[in-house]
Amino acid sequence: MAAFEPELSDEQETVRDWIHGFAAEVMRPAAAEWDEREEFPWPVVREAARIGLYSLDFYARQFFDPTGLGIPMAMEELFWGDAGLGLAITGTGLAAVSVFTNGTDEQIGTWVPQMYGDANDVKIAAFCSSEPDAGSDVSAMRTRARYDGAKDEWVIDGVKAWATNGGIADVHVVVAVVDPELGARGHASFVVPPGTPGLTQGQKFRKHGIRASHTAEVVLQGVRVPGHCLLGGKDRLDERLARARERANGGERSGNAAMATFEASRPAVGAQAVGIARAAYEVALDYARTRVQFGRPIIDNQGVAFQLADMRTRVDAARLLVWRASWMATAGRPFTAAEGSMSKLFAGETAKQVTAQAMQILGGNGYTRDYPVERMHRDAAIYSVFEGTSEIQRLVIARAISGMPIR
């Protein structure tokens, strides 16, 4: 395993520059239009697929980068381009990570390629975990999966909320309760193949930010999927549930399918937030250098210059936390102090703070849609909410460092 190095290799820099070029030349010119339209940006995603940026091969190469820095590097550059378009391009990844985390080799080989398709037939996927009454509290999940042994099928009923690509995806990965008595430990993940009867899109959410990314409810009514669509298989599920029952009787805690997916993806989400923060900082820095008031550039005032110093410091610190967590995950090192949650927490809060400071530095211009920091500020707001709120991240960290079941 490669040692942790807080810098990119020449090869990684070449890939970064290639992604940066796409972000600058394709994403940024289109960002405002798709933000206003609030529609899934198929032309942008198809262009990403045409050049190989939206593809299983590309993400697999970054995912298996031995340094662990491939995914966060790619995420930062894409979200530097635009967060809404970035999430449209990367949203399939959460469903793919769920299959990689919970599925068998056969399931990975079967379903992940179908999530991306190819340059001539682009596909997308959705990961469906949150519900109207079950966000941070995954134990409140109501979607049920019942096994029909006579047909070797699982029957799924429920409503999922806040699903990226929900309803328009070709492949959905759905987390459901298989044993209600076990709470969060009685969950399992299922692949719902394309065209499965009973799965429909519910409400499409009109959002404050990341508006180019499609977010909707997914309604499941008597959805039947073959037994082989249970990620990990039934034998593994039965063994896991048996262990969970033993631990429940002994008062021990154990994880669940949804949280395993989120834990694996948190550093990547942190990298997205770093990209937004860096973009806002660069706009503010350029503006402060060129905006003249009282006969001199506003960066010549300590009040502005010190803000920019703090912004750059937070961006760099957030990136290092993300890179450390990504390297640890690749190296198989346990997050003994919840380093994955640390990276997501700090990067998400940094994106919110830095974009707000950028708006302040631009003054009235920053509040208008003529400048991108207004959109960046709206986009950044979600990073203290989705894939684990900042409060949940603090809870995870506090439990890890204290060893106590803090509530």
The residue among 398, 316, 326, 312 whose CA lies nearest residue 361 is 312
Q: Are 273 and 87 in contact (CB under 8 A)?
A: no
DSSP symbols for 249-305: HHT-----HHHHHHHHHHHHHHHHHHHHHHHHHHHHHHHHHH-EETTEEGGGSHHHH
For residue 247, what are the CA distances in angstroms to 107, 188, 241, 250, 254?
Answer: 28, 17, 10, 5, 8
Q: What angle do CA 113, 379, 79 make, to 5 degrees?
A: 50
- 349 catalytic? Reply is no
Q: Please report which helix (H) or strand (E) contains residue 144, including its range.
A: strand 144-148
Question: Which is the catalytic residue, given 47, 77, 131, 387?
Answer: 387
Going by C-alpha positions, the residue among 389, 357, 359 that lies closest to residue 372 is 359
Token look-up 């995954």 returns 138
Whether residue 200 contacts residue 263, with contact meaning beta carbons closer than 8 Å, is answered with no
Q: Rounded to 5 degrees, what are φ and ψ at 255? A: -85, -175
Residue with tokens 């400071």: 357
Contact 172, 134 (CB under 8 A): no
Torsion angles phi and psi, residue 226, rounded to 5: -60, 155
Name the residues annotated as catalytic.
387
